[in-house]
A = this chain, B = another copy of it.
């Protein structure tokens, strides 16, 4: 239980002080923080609070969104990532989680054009075909360029960037890093002090190559996050994560693989789920602890046997 960390997104209604108090009440030793609530409470104040409470900051979420295509937007994004690195340093966070961003036009502004609703001709369709940026290779290259640009600053501030491969379901709109292997291809171009990877069970569990890539990640795993894949998938796929045990992932197997690769850091529970957010946060933390013991840790041998 000493390695269990509450990512504050799991108890989304809690401010930083509430989440810190909640962790202390529950006997947890680590917390994963998000930039928005941290900035709301104040970075220095948040840092003092977690330090005084004796909590480790297992991660700060999140930097990234490096796929933007136009130069001005790109400069602002790099600047914002430098601020995120500063905040991670001030909080003494174990790493800064990087959600790299989807395609520049990936979040689906345009509704589908249905048959019969308008006149279609070839030229109009051609135009529709051109309007959106569908260059996935280019987006991935901009991520690599952006990380390379941030590495010297991360080294300077002593912050490890943690590349998070995201489930391929988010490739268009959230993250074009889609597999652990791809994240490692990028991370390995840089010193391990500057760039590691996140292993999040929700994002990687399906990958036929996951065993091999976790072994390969030895020494590069900056963060291990757990939650479950539930079916049917909730309507809003951004809120599709489930409490451990409610879904289909063999969490214990993945935890063992990550440990066999040498990871001994915190195990963070990050759940985006409307039903869990609607529940009382202390109850969520209690359930999280029970499920962590029952589905992530090794079973305790029964004394009666």
**Which one, A53-61, A79-87, A247-255, is touching chain B?**
A247-255
Q: Which of B121, B140, B167, B181 contacts A168 (CB 8 A)?
A: B167
Interface positions of A from 109 to 136, Cβ below 8 Å from B: 110, 112-116, 120-122, 125-126, 128-129, 132, 134-136
* Residues of B close to A44: CB separation below 8 A: none
Q: How far is the CA of A207 from the CA of B291 in the complex (A)?
A: 32
* Residues of B close to A114: CB separation below 8 A: 275-276, 279
Annotate A291-305 by CB proximity to B: 1 below 8 A, 0 otherwise: 101110001000000
Q: Are B294 and A129 in contact (CB under 8 A)?
A: yes
Closest B-chain residue to A204, C-beta based? B168
Q: How far is the CA of A143 from the CA of B89 in the complex (A)?
A: 48
For chain A, give the interface size range.
35 or more
Q: How far is the CA of A146 from the CA of B294 in the complex (A)?
A: 33
* Residues of B close to A287: CB separation below 8 A: 115, 120
Q: Which of B107, B205, B280 contacts A136 (CB 8 A)?
A: B205
Q: Which of B120, B172, B275 contacts A290 (CB 8 A)?
A: B120
Q: Which of B125, B135, B169 contacts A294 (CB 8 A)?
A: B125
Q: How far is the CA of A113 from the CA of B106 in the complex (A)?
A: 33
20 chain-A/chain-B pairs, Cβ below 8 angstroms: A105-B248, A107-B231, A113-B246, A116-B279, A116-B280, A120-B287, A122-B290, A122-B293, A125-B291, A128-B245, A129-B294, A129-B295, A136-B206, A168-B206, A168-B207, A169-B169, A171-B205, A172-B206, A173-B231, A179-B208
Identify the A interface with B (CB < 8 A): 103, 105-108, 110, 112-116, 120-122, 125-126, 128-129, 132, 134-136, 140, 167-169, 171-173, 178-179, 181-182, 205-209, 229-233, 235-237, 242-243, 245-250, 273, 275-276, 279-280, 283-284, 286-287, 290-291, 293-295, 299
